[in-house]
Every structure is written in C-alpha cells, then in structure tokens.
A and B are shown apart, each in its own frame.
Chain A
C-alpha cells in the first residue's frame, strides 16, 4: 500500500514560474525523498531530507519537512520545459532494516515553454 500522497495531482505552469508540490505521509519516517520520472529517463533521485532536518536545498530545488504534520513540500524555482515529468515523494520508515521506499501516487508537472 502507498503511504504518501502528493498534492496537487497535476500542475501546469509557464516556464520561469515556480512549482510547489506537497506530500503527506502516515507513519514515522527515517527520511523522505523526492523522485522524478519521465518516459525517457526512468526514475531519478532528486533530493533526500532526514527526519531531523527541516529544510534542504539542491540547485533549483527546495524541500521542507514537517514531521509533526507528516508533510513535505518540494519547490522547483525558475521552472524549465525539461522539468516536465511526474514527481513522487517516497519515505523510508523507522521499522526494519530493508530501507524499502514507500512511494506516493505522484504528481504530473507540465511546464509550458
């Protein structure tokens, strides 16, 4: 079963605008990650934030984590047409040692040139 749920499920913006995606999850986590997927390149890891972190930056990406609300957000600044893809949040739980990823349903981002 999937734990995360991204919001909105689809977003269409113009190139240069910012895109914000939200993710909610249900159980305690070790870390939360964001992935991008498009038909050409498969599933690509974007950024990881640990449960004891509140904010992280990587290039044009900014991730926040609020463990009290069990939610995270991904901000993509100055979007480009190449950012068009599906985005997933995925969590790693605190139980067990498998480090298996529990993904949300994903959000489709379209950046119009």
Chain B
C-alpha cells in the first residue's frame, strides 16, 4: 500500500504522560500536514511542512505540542504532559507541490486516535 500511513492507530495514555505519533507520507510528496479532529467536529489544521521546514503552525498547537520532519520524509507529532482535552483523532495528510500555482490534492492517512484518561 503506497498511501499515507500513521502509527499507532490507537493510543490510550494517562494524563500527564508524553505521547508521540508518526506519519509516513506518500513517498514523493514534499508537503505534510497535521490535523486534529474531535468527536462530532471536522478536522482542524495544526501545522504543515514543506520538505523538512515547518512553515506554519496553528494557534491550536500549544507549547506542549511539537512536530518534526527531520529528513523531509516521515514526521512525528509529540504531545507532552497530555491533558484530557487532547483526546482526539490526529490526522496526517501529504501532497506534492510542484509550484505551478495549481492546487495540490492532500491525501489523508487513517489517523491516530488518542484517548487521555
């Protein structure tokens, strides 16, 4: 399967613990996005990378959240000192931007469902 993959698919943790999620984009895609989706809501943008550079972060991304894409391929999203309000589905998407001005479709992974007890 050459789509976007995320690991783990489910994570249950206790309040105060740190968690890290991984996203593997489609191999040639240079853009990678993180979104968060809470129950009954649509996904909300968190941050995005162009290659290894993190170019935009949402106000939703508090200091407890950090994302990296060290080699411009896979990305990790870490949440420190988790809170119950962090419980959500964390979605990753990737796209190939070739700079022509045309919109570049994002392809989504299956998500990581986080439950903070």
Residues of A within 8 A of B31 (CB): 99
Residues of B within 8 A of A88 (CB): 42-43
Q: Which of B13-21, B74-82, B105-113 contacts A (4 or more CB under 8 A)?
A: B105-113
Say if the beta carbon of A81 comes within 8 Å of chain B.
no
Min Cβ gap A48→B in Å is 7
Count of interface residues, chain A, beta-carbon cutoff 8 Å: 24
A48 touches B105 (CB 8 A): yes
* CB within 8 Å for A98 and B107 given contacts A4-B42, A103-B43: no
B56 touches A101 (CB 8 A): no
Residues of B within 8 A of A99 (CB): 31, 95, 97, 103-104, 106
Q: Identify B42's interface contact among A2, A45, A50, A98, CB under 8 A.
A: A2
Bound-complex Cα distance A90 to B37 (A)? 13
Residues of A within 8 A of B103 (CB): 30-31, 48, 50, 92, 99
Min Cβ gap B31→A in Å is 8
Residues of A within 8 A of B104 (CB): 99
Say if the beta carbon of B90 comes within 8 Å of chain A.
no
Q: Mark B77-117, 1 if CB is under 8 A from A, else 0.
A: 00000000000000101010100000111111111000000
Min Cβ gap B113→A in Å is 10
Bound-complex Cα distance A69 to B18 (A)? 45
Bound-complex Cα distance A101 to B108 (A)? 12
Residues of B within 8 A of A4 (CB): 42
A43 touches B108 (CB 8 A): yes
A-to-B contact residues, CB < 8 Å: 1-2, 4, 30-31, 42-45, 48, 50, 88, 90, 92, 96, 98-106
